[in-house]
Amino acid sequence: MRNWSGKVVFHPARVARPGSDAEVAEVLRAAGEQGLRVRPVGAAHSFTPLMATGGVALSLDRLTGVEDVEQATGEVWLRGGTRIREIAGLLAPHRLALPNMGDIDAQAIAGAVSTGTHGTGLAFTGYSGIVTGLRLALPSGEITECSRTHQPELFEAARVGFGAFGVILAIRLACVPAFALEAVETTEPAAVVLESFLERARAADHLEFFWFPGTLRVTVKHNRRLPAGSELRPMSRLDRLVNREFLGNTVFEGMCRAAVALPALARPVGEVGSRLMAGGTFSDSSHRVYVAPRRVRFHETEFAMPLDAFPDVVVEVERAIVASGLPITFPIEVRVAAADDTWLGTSSGQESVYVAVHRYHREPFEPLAEAVWPVFRAFGGRPHWGKDHDLGAEEFAELYPRFVDAQRVRAQVDPDGLLLNDHLRKVFGT
Ligand SMILES: Cc1cc2nc3c(=O)[nH]c(=O)nc-3n(C[C@H](O)[C@H](O)[C@H](O)COP(=O)(O)OP(=O)(O)OC[C@H]3O[C@@H](n4cnc5c(N)ncnc54)[C@H](O)[C@@H]3O)c2cc1C
């Protein structure tokens, strides 16, 4: 098996696809008896080897869909294997939607929640911030529910828990009435955006920007929540096909390949790429606006910093990339998020600015990571759990006030390390 970027390759002894909660519990019990470790796998879209195992790879692809909707509160129980791209259709009959989304919707909801996947917007948390309940299969095979009021420590740890505290069978999410967004995607001078971004992000619903290193303009994406009943102007099929699919993916892939052979092309690719990313103005149901196809594969690292690290952290990351002399054809992506109260979420206890750095998948990622990681660390950055980083338990104990509690809860629920792999042993320091 391999992850989306192709960098993480692993060979499980067995792939299990249970069709019920009881079968998940049985997989865990049987693996324990056979001395095999287990790793839950969602859509394998993480860049870190969180899901890698030589034991049992446990997929919840057969455990999908809505279990229950509490119309009065907007809370919805979804099975853990449900792909995010299915959720809008599942919620439509109830006129509900996810309050915010990231760049893509290929992930399993349990996988996205487990790494603290997020979008942008200072009034919005990532997915784990809207989780109000979990049903877990514990390593012992016991099935249990937890929430803020019932087994709160297990809940706080497992909300961003990388599948190390139990297998998420179902998740209760606080959804909102369905809504539409207007997207305005333009390019602007980098200097202007660096100066004004925080103020604009505070006033906007969802604001982010992409900066191709070494270029002078950035692509700004602003999504505004529209009042109910607003007239919508969706992107036409032709625009979607030509701009999003052909230019944004097929042509961009060709340009990235060319730049591998001829590194001097990297800068012009960035300049053209910046314009290709700006889709103009359109409006549509929220899930069609938040998400765009990402078919050109890349490697990625992303860190969350306290908001006041902006703009310095972005300026220094761009400088570090340019100074490295590496030909980079992918942009720096800058987003923001509200503070949440998870124990291990990257925005736990602080409003954050997220800065992500990418490189085309056919090029080595390590030199780029080594150029930017010291900058992120100097600004107190917390790495996205699903994106490349090289930190371990010692650093996490400094970055997260409740990390020691998470270590304690993990040791209680999984004393034999059934759900661990080498990567998680380093994370938890076990
Ligand atoms: C093209 C691309 C775009 C992306 N865009 C964004 C973005 O906009 N914002 C962002 O924050 N991140 C983004 N990511 C990162 C991605 O959202 C996370 O890595 C996410 O965790 C992947 O979900 P997955 O379903 O593929 O889970 P996997 O990568 O398969 O697994 C992730 C973790 O979840 C655990 N897990 C999976 N299922 C379960 C379960 N049922 N119970 C318990 N644990 C489970 C796994 O064991 C693992 O620890 C992007 C990644 C890619 C490749």
Residue reference for tokens 């740890």: 157
Shortest CA distance to 104 belongs to which of 329, 293, 351, 233? 293
Q: What tens-digit pLDDT sequence spans the chain (430 residues)?
A: 999 999 999 999 999 999 999 999 999 999 999 999 999 999 999 999 999 999 999 999 999 999 999 999 999 999 999 999 999 999 999 999 999 999 999 999 999 999 999 999 999 999 999 999 999 999 999 999 999 999 999 999 999 999 999 999 999 999 999 999 999 999 999 999 999 999 999 999 999 999 999 999 999 999 999 999 999 999 888 777 777 777 778 888 898 899 898 899 888 888 888 888 888 999 999 999 999 888 899 999 999 999 999 999 999 999 999 999 999 999 999 999 999 999 999 999 999 999 999 999 999 999 999 999 999 999 999 999 999 999 999 999 999 999 999 999 999 999 999 999 999 999 999 9
Q: Which atom of ligand 1 is nearest to the CA of 163?
A: 44
For residue 162 and ligand 1, the question of a CB distance below 6 A is answered with: yes
For residue 80 and ligand 1, the question of a CB distance below 6 A is answered with: yes
3-state secondary structure of 345: coil
Identical fold at 61-177 and 180-383?
Answer: no
Q: Which atom of ligand 1 is nearest to the CA of 118?
A: 11
For residue 49 and ligand 1, the question of a CB distance below 6 A is answered with: no
For residue 331 and ligand 1, the question of a CB distance below 6 A is answered with: no
Q: Which atom of ligand 1 is nearest to the CA of 117?
A: 11
Q: Which tokens belong to 32?
A: 């324990």
Ligand 1 centre distance from Cα of residue 189 (Å)? 33
3-state secondary structure of 257: helix
pLDDT of residue 154: 98
Which of the listed CATH numbers 3.40.50.720, 3.40.1500.10, 3.40.462.10, 3.40.50.300 matches domain 180-383? 3.40.462.10
Distance CA 317, CA 333 (A): 11
For residue 423 and ligand 1, the question of a CB distance below 6 A is answered with: no
For residue 104 and ligand 1, the question of a CB distance below 6 A is answered with: yes
The sign of the torsion formed by the CA atoms of 156, 158, 161, 164 equals: positive
Distance CA 290, CA 272 (A): 22
Total count of residues recorded for the chain: 430
Identify residue 401 by its one-letter amino acid code. Answer: P
Which residue ranges make up each domain of the chain?
14-58, 61-177, 180-383
Distance CA 69, CA 64 (A): 15
Nearest Cα residue to atom 3 of ligand 1: 104
Q: What is the CATH number of domain 61-177?
A: 3.30.465.10
Distance CA 97, CA 88 (A): 6
Residue 35 phi, psi (nearest 5): 75, 25
Q: Decide if the complex's ipTM is over 0.85.
A: yes
For residue 332 and ligand 1, the question of a CB distance below 6 A is answered with: no
Q: Which atom of ligand 1 is nearest to the CA of 385?
A: 19
Distance CA 107, CA 77 (A): 17
For residue 60 and ligand 1, the question of a CB distance below 6 A is answered with: yes
For residue 193 and ligand 1, the question of a CB distance below 6 A is answered with: no
